[in-house]
Amino acid sequence: MSDQPLKLYNTLNRQKEIFTPLSPPYVGMYVCGPTVYNNVHLGNVRTFLTFDTLFRYLTHIGYKVRYVRNITDVGHLVGDGDEGEDKIGRMAKLEKVEPMEIVQRYTNDFHQVTATFNLLPPSIEPTATGHLIEQIEAVQKLIAEGLAYESNGSVYFDIIKYNEGGHNYGKLSGRVLDDLLNETRELDGQAEKRNPLDFAIWKNASPEHIMQWNSPWGKGFPGWHLECTCMSTKYLGKQFDIHGGGMDLKFPHHECEIAQGTGLTGVDPVRYWMHSNMLTVNGQKMSKSLGNSFLPHELFTGSHPLLDQAFSPMTVRFFMLQSQYRSTLDFSNDALKAAQKGYKRLVNGYRVLKLQEFMEEEDVAIDEKKKADIENSVRGFYEAMNDDLNTAVAIAQLFNLVKYANMLYLNQLKSAALGRETFELLKEKFVLFFEDVLGLQEEKTAGDAVLGGMLSLYREYKAAQEYEKVDEIRLYFKNQGLVIRDMKHRIDWAYEE
C-alpha cells in the first residue's frame, strides 16, 4: 500500500534505518520483560504497548515474527546494580513467603494487565530461573575467552579486556569509557573487581540471600544482564533482528548485553535496538520508587487521588498510541479526558464502517475528490507506520476516514459515490487498522442483541408516545456510556462522545 519501506529508529546508529530482516519473512524480536516483584504500573505498560504495536504491525505487513519477551524472576537487584538484595528475594522476606510465590503472583498480575490492554502474548515467554544452565555455561565460556574472571565466588565481565579486543563498550548509549571510569564512585564490593565498571555475570550469594544455586564458583545467582543475553540468543540465534525495551534500560543493561553477546559468539547480537520513551507524571518518570506510579486498576476505578474520574483500558491504550513511542508522554487527567473523547469518536467510526454495506445505485456519480482523499488517508496510515511507527500521524489519518464514516452514517454520502472498490478499501482497512494494528476494541457492557432489543422497545414506546418509557430507555443507554441516535432515516445507538 505504501511506496515507502518500513524504517525504524536504531538506537545503535542514532538514525532511522530501512528495516531489512536477516531472513525474511521471519523476524526475531526480543523485549525485556518485567521483573515480577510488584504490580506493573502504567509506565511499564507503555513500553510493552510499544512493542505490541510493532509486533502487530510487522505481522500485518506480512512478516512471521517470533516475539520473545522474558520474565525476570531472579538476579535483578534493588538499585539495578551489582550489590544488594534481589528485588524478588526482598519481597519474599518481607512477606515471609517463597520467592516463587512472589514471582507467580506478579506474573499473574502482569498477564492479567496485558490481557486487559489487549497486548498480544509473545511467542515465547522464558524465565531467567528456567535458563540457569545456559547462564552458567555462558559464564564458563566468557571465562574461557578471557573476558571474565572469578573473584570471591563472583564472576565479572572484564570491560577493559573486551575493549582491548577491538570492541567498544559504550557504543549503544554513546558513553565513553574514560568518562565512565571518571564518573564511577567506589562502591561496596568493588574491591572484588579489576575495574569498577566491570559488571557481575554471576554473583556469590551470602547465606541470607534466599535465591541461590550451585555453580562451579560456589552457591550464587546469575547477573541480570546475562539472563537476557542467554534467553534471546537461545530462541532467536546469536544474531537477531530487533531488541526492545524502555529507554532507561539502554545503559547499562543493554550495553552489557551487547558486550556479553559479542564476547560469547564474536558477532554483535542485535541488528536494530529500539527504545521506548518514558511515561511521565508532571515531567518526571513514572516509577514505583518515586511514588508517582499509577496502577491500571486505579484508572479503571478512578480511585487514584490525582484522577477525578475512571478511564477504561481502551481509552488508556488509545491515549498512549496518540504519541509516537520515542517521545515522552505525560500522564494527566486532562490528557486522558481528551483521549476518551478521541477514542469514542474513533470507535463510533469503526462501528459504522464495520456494519455498513455497499449499495449499488446507478444514478449516483462518483465523487472523485472524496475517493482520492480516502485512498490517500489509507496510504498515509501505512506511511506513518513505516516512518518509525508514528502512531500519532497514523491515528490522524484514521480521523480523516471517520469523517467519511459519519457522512455515510448520516446519509450525506452514498456508498455508490465512492465506487465499490474505494468503499471496500475504506471499510476493510479501517477495521484492520483499528483491530489488528492498533489493537483497539469496542467496550460495551451489553451485547448487540440486547441493545438491539432495547432499540426496538424504544421505537415502540416512541410510536405509542409513552415518553416516560422512552426516557427510561435513553437512561439505560446513557448508564453504559452509550446514546441513542434518533435520525430521520434510522434509529441506532452509538458511543457517547
Interface ranges with ligand AMP (CB under 6 A): 32, 34-35, 43-44, 46-47, 245-246, 248-249, 278-279, 285-287
Please give the residue whose beta carbon sits closest to ligand AMP in the complex. Answer: 246
If you write DSSP's letter for every residue of 395-422 in order, what string do you get?
A: HHHHHHHHHHHHHHHTTSS-GGGGHHHH
Partner whose binding site includes residue 275, from ligand AMP, Zn ion, none (CB under 5 to 8 Å by kind) = none
Q: Please state the closest distance from residue 121 (CB atom) to ligand AMP, in A.
A: 16
Give the interface segment with Zn ion, choosing from 34-42, 226-234, 348-356, 384-392 (CB under 5 A).
226-234
Judging by beta carbons within 10 Å of its beta carbon (0-12, 13-18, 19+), is residue 354 exposed, middle or buried? middle
How are beta strands 270-276 and 15-18 bridged, if at all? unpaired
Nearer to ligand AMP among residue 248 and residue 442 (C-beta)? 248
Nearer to ligand AMP among residue 43 and residue 89 (C-beta)? 43
Q: Please state the closest distance from residue 32 (CB atom) to Zn ion, in A.
A: 3
C-alpha cell at 136: 552458567
Q: Please state the closest distance from residue 168 (CB atom) to Zn ion, in A.
A: 20
Partner whose binding site includes residue 228, from ligand AMP, Zn ion, none (CB under 5 to 8 Å by kind) = Zn ion
Start-to-end CA span in the chain (Å): 31
C-alpha cell at 165: 579486543
Site for Zn ion in 115-174 (CB under 5 A): none
Give the interface segment with Zn ion, choosing from 25-33, 194-202, 281-289, 442-450 (CB under 5 A).
25-33
Nearer to ligand AMP among residue 66 and residue 69 (C-beta)? 69
Give the interface segment with Zn ion, choosing from 91-99, 224-232, 343-351, 449-457 (CB under 5 A).
224-232
Nearer to Zn ion among residue 230 and residue 482 (C-beta)? 230
Partner whose binding site includes residue 229, from ligand AMP, Zn ion, none (CB under 5 to 8 Å by kind) = none
Nearer to ligand AMP among residue 253 and residue 345 (C-beta)? 253
Give the interface segment with Zn ion, choosing from 106-114, 227-235, 352-360, 439-447 (CB under 5 A).
227-235
Q: Please state the closest distance from residue 331 (CB atom) to ligand AMP, in A.
A: 9
**Amino acid letter, 30:** Y
How are beta strands 154-157 and 148-151 bridged, if at all? antiparallel
Q: Please state the closest distance from residue 71 (CB atom) to ligand AMP, in A.
A: 10
- Residue 180 pairs in a beta bridge with none
What is the crossing angle of helices 313-321 and 42-60, to 10°?
Answer: 70
Q: Please state the closest distance from residue 253 (CB atom) to Zn ion, in A.
A: 5
Placement of cell 509506565 in the chain: 43
Q: Please state the closest distance from residue 103 (CB atom) to ligand AMP, in A.
A: 12
Among 334, 329, 325, CA closest to 284: 329
Residue 32 binding Zn ion, by CB under 5 A: yes
Partner whose binding site includes residue 236, from ligand AMP, Zn ion, none (CB under 5 to 8 Å by kind) = none
Q: Please state the closest distance from residue 156 (CB atom) to Zn ion, in A.
A: 19
Among 424, 422, 403, 393, CA closest to 346: 403
Q: Please state the closest distance from residue 389 (CB atom) to ligand AMP, in A.
A: 15
**Amino acid letter, 3:** D
In three-state secondary structure terms, 74 is coil
- CB–CB of 484/458 below 8 Å? yes
Nearer to ligand AMP among residue 286 and residue 437 (C-beta)? 286
- CB–CB of 106/121 below 8 Å? no
Nearer to Zn ion among residue 124 and residue 454 (C-beta)? 124
The helix (run of H) or strand (run of E) holding residue 273 is: strand 270-276
- Residue 243 pairs in a beta bridge with 30, 273
Judging by beta carbons within 10 Å of its beta carbon (0-12, 13-18, 19+), is residue 475 exposed, middle or buried? exposed
As a whole number of angstroms, the distance between CA 461 and CA 463 comes to 5
Give the interface segment with Zn ion, choosing from 41-49, 221-229, 390-398, 426-434 (CB under 5 A).
221-229
Partner whose binding site includes residue 286, from Zn ion, ligand AMP, none (CB under 5 to 8 Å by kind) = ligand AMP
Q: Please state the closest distance from residue 12 (CB atom) to ligand AMP, in A.
A: 17
As a whole number of angstroms, the distance between CA 140 and CA 159 comes to 17
One of 228, 230, 231, 384 touching Zn ion (CB under 5 A): 228
Nearer to Zn ion among residue 76 and residue 175 (C-beta)? 76
As a whole number of angstroms, the distance between CA 55 and CA 325 comes to 14
Nearer to ligand AMP among residue 129 and residue 348 (C-beta)? 129
Number of residues that bind Zn ion (CB under 5 A): 2
**Amino acid letter, 232:** S
- CB–CB of 72/452 below 8 Å? no
The helix (run of H) or strand (run of E) holding residue 105 is: helix 99-116
Tell me which residues touch Zn ion (CB under 5 A): 32, 228
